[in-house]
Amino acid sequence: MRVKKGFKARRRRNRVLKLAKGFRGRRKNCYKRANQAVERALNYSTAHRRRRRRDFRSLWIVRINAAARQNGTTYSRLIAGLTKAGVALDRKVLADLALFVPGDFAAVVKAAQA
């Protein structure tokens, strides 16, 4: 009697097809194509988690620089001044201050210039 792979194989295939939900064409319902697409997507997601951190840091720096220039200094001078003054605010917090509470950001700039 022939032994089919049965439950285990079906569960593995269904797991892959579930991950391929939302893909277009045969990549969503053909196991072989879906498996390739899911593998590639998982690789990209790993790389892009690191990329997202990089992108956010760049965005924060752009926002801080723009707000710093409105307050009469530059990003590099501001960061150097904050380090020298011992103000331990990270770039995410500084960017939020610059965007949502400009008055407080101006006070931070004054502290960095003192």
d(CA 55, CA 47): 12
d(CA 57, CA 47): 16
> Higher model confidence: residue 51 or residue 6?
51
Predicted local distance difference test score (pLDDT) of residue 111: 93
| Region of residue 73 (phi > 0: left; psi between -120 and 50: alpha; otherwise: beta) | beta
7-113 adopts what CATH topology?
Answer: c-terminal domain of poly(a) binding protein (1.10.1900)
Tokens 């992108």 locate to 55
Tokens 């892009």 locate to 48
pLDDT of 52 above 80: yes
Angle of helix 31-70 versus helix 102-113 axis, rounded to 10: 60
Tokens 């960095």 locate to 112
